[in-house]
Chains A and B, each alone.
Chain A
Amino acid sequence: MYVMRRWATRNARLLEAIYLVLAKAFHAFDPLWGWVGFHRLETSFAALEAWCKGALFDCNMCGRCVLSVTGMTCPMNCPKGIRNGPCGGVRANGHCEVRPDMPCVWVEAWSGATRMRHGMRIQELQEPCDFSTQGTSAWLRLSAENLARRAAGAQGVPAERQGMAAE
């Protein structure tokens, strides 16, 4: 069980490198996504995101992806949904207190983080989950935020706080 998820954690460094390249490529097209309209792209992009991140990470589509700072492990798989884990209930064998057959999501996250180049970003404090974004595309949200920041910067207005540090 949890084969793909565990594979992703063991290969966190490789996935991090792939992610950094893909994210850069995707966000290079931010103006294009904005021009087409985020609301028009939402359904198809969310489906694509759910499919590929679901297969690799058992992604829960919280809409505020933090995979790259949590050791390539989706924290929403924690039965308590802890964004800043692990809790104190981790079993001696490193498994979850709630689901004894599942390795603790945050023990896995730590092992992934220790393999990654920017793994110590796991120490960053995560804001409470925004439940209004559940099921939506985190990629497009970041694109929209990038565009808004750029627009604000062009007007000489200091960029407003854009919620939590996503991806």
Chain B
Amino acid sequence: MNVPNHGAGSSYPVLDGHSSGGRLERVLRSGRFTITAELNPPDSADPQETYRRALVLSKVCDAINATDASGANCHMSSLGICALLIQAGYSPVLQISCRDRNRIAIQGDVLGAAAMGVHNILCLTGDSVESGDHPEAKPVFDLDSISLLRTIRRMRDERQFLSGRKITVPPRVFLGAAANPFAPPHDWRPLRLAKKIEAGAQFVQTQYCYDIPLLEQYMARVRDLGLDKKCFILVGVGPLASARAARWIRANVPGVHIPDAVIARLAGASDQKQEGKKLCIELIQQIRGIPGVAGVHVMAYRQEELVSEIILSSGVLKHRDRNGKTRREAKEGALT
């Protein structure tokens, strides 16, 4: 297929074997342990609020996720945030949920986003309207995460809309999806990841991980299926502010699994916030040791200022491994 080397709106050329010209794909393909983080969208039309939140994340992140009304709560749109972040030179991940827009709107947004310079798109089904601040809204769900992945892949690789109509310059995007290894049916979850990969997912960002044994079990099956070779897996992490917050999240945020032992540990600490941060750092270090994991995705709800500290204290950026060597080792090896 005759594809121009530059993606539309891209300042970087699209490298051979890459789908996008973006930074996230390059870092992941280079084999480095990758960090992405979620930006909590402002309830404001002031761009400075977005920039302030991006600035604290940018120190440690390879890409910043712009959420699409997550939890079905209304905020600044993901496309709006991406536009601001691109202007400022950041590398955003555009999250698209199927809850609020139909296939006509979504495909149009994909073209607009790619033209603007968005290189990464995360395809989500989306939380239901009942869980948000507008429960009386009409849910759309024209597509689901898998058919959305397939739709955008078709736009990119076959240069076609779902209708079959031609696209002259395709959106050169790196496609992602969400995964939840911690929700039932557990035995099906790895196969579901396979289905998402078949539909076009090149990277996945998982739900919050607070249960390492369950993640290890999932990853073992993922490796057996060879899925870690076909898709980059970023495990979701985040600091818990207190035992009370943890209990609230467990009861009210769909799909978040927090074991009793984690809550007990927080409840027993003298400084719960500090303990939550410590727990998050430990989780990142443990996750890094699991074969097949490509990085972590930090979701620090209303605690963005902690993200840099957590990542830097975890030590995952000190020595970004390359072929099993630290940068320094690689450099010394090259010199001798």
Contacts and interface: CB of A to CB of B under 8 A. Distances in A.
Interface of A: 79-92, 94, 97-98, 104, 107, 110-111, 123, 125-129, 131
Contact of A80 (B128, B180, B183): B128
B150 A88 contact: no
A89 B255 contact: yes
A123 to B, nearest CB: 6
Contacts of B147: 83-84, 125-128
Contacts of B178: 88
B185 A107 contact: yes
Interface of B: 98-99, 103, 125-128, 130-131, 139, 141-147, 150-151, 162, 178-180, 183-185, 188, 191-192, 194-195, 198-199, 207, 254-255, 257
B195 A84 contact: yes
21 contacts: A79-B130, A79-B139, A80-B98, A80-B99, A82-B145, A83-B146, A84-B145, A86-B183, A86-B188, A88-B254, A89-B254, A90-B180, A94-B184, A97-B127, A97-B254, A97-B255, A111-B185, A123-B194, A125-B195, A128-B142, A128-B151
Contacts of B179: 88
Nearest to A93: B184
A82 B130 CA distance: 16
Contacts of A129: 142
B151 A89 contact: no
Nearest to B103: A128
A10 B208 CA distance: 32
A131 B143 CA distance: 11
Contact of B183 (A84, A89, A126, A131): A89
Contacts of B150: 125, 127
A107 B127 contact: no
A88 B180 contact: yes
B181 to A, nearest CB: 9
Residue among B131, B162, B180, B192 facing the most chain A CB atoms (10 A cut-off): B192
A88 B257 CA distance: 11
A110 B144 CA distance: 18
A97 B317 CA distance: 37
A116 to B, nearest CB: 14
B205 to A, nearest CB: 11
Given A98-B130, A128-B103, A88 B183 contact: yes
Contacts of A126: 146-147
A130 to B, nearest CB: 11
A128 B195 CA distance: 15
9 shortest interchain CB distances as A-B pairs: A88-B180, A89-B254, A84-B146, A97-B254, A88-B255, A128-B147, A82-B144, A89-B255, A90-B183
Nearest to B250: A92
B199 A125 contact: yes
Given A79-B128, A97-B255, A98-B128, A128 B143 contact: yes
A125 B177 CA distance: 15
B227 to A, nearest CB: 13
A90 to B, nearest CB: 4
